[in-house]
Amino acid sequence: SSAVLEAIENTIQNVLESLAQKKAPVLTVANRADWRNIEFKDSVGLQMISRCTTKQIRSDCPRSALKFALMLKILSMIYKMVQSNTYATKRDIYYSDTQLFGSQSVVDNIINDISCMLRIPRRSLHILSTTKGFVAGNLSYTEEDGTKVNCTGSATAVTVPSNVQGIKNLISHATFMLIVEKDATFQRLLDDDFCNKLSPCIMITGRGVPDLNTRLLVRKLWDSFQIPIFTLMDADPHGIEIMCIYKYGSVSMSFEAHHLTVPSIKWLGLLPSDLERLNIRKDALIPLTKRDQNKLASIQKRPYIACQPMWKKELEIMAASKLKAEIQVLTSLSSDYLSRVYLPNKLQFGGWL
Catalytic positions are: 95
- Beta strands in the chain, from DSSP E residues, in sequence order: 26-30, 38-41, 45-48, 54-58, 88-89, 127-128, 134-137, 140-142, 148-150, 158-159, 168-171, 176-180, 201-205, 229-232, 266-269, 286-287, 323-324
Q: How far is 210 from 250, CA to CA, in rounded Å?
A: 11
Q: How far is 91 from 78, CA to CA, in rounded Å?
A: 14
Vertex 219 angle, CA 213 and 223, to 5°: 140
Closest CA to 158 of 142, 174, 146: 142
User: What dihedral do alpha carbons 36, 40, 45, 50 form, nearest 10°?
Assistant: -60
Q: How far is 202 from 34, CA to CA, in rounded Å?
A: 35
Q: How far is 288 from 296, CA to CA, in rounded Å?
A: 10
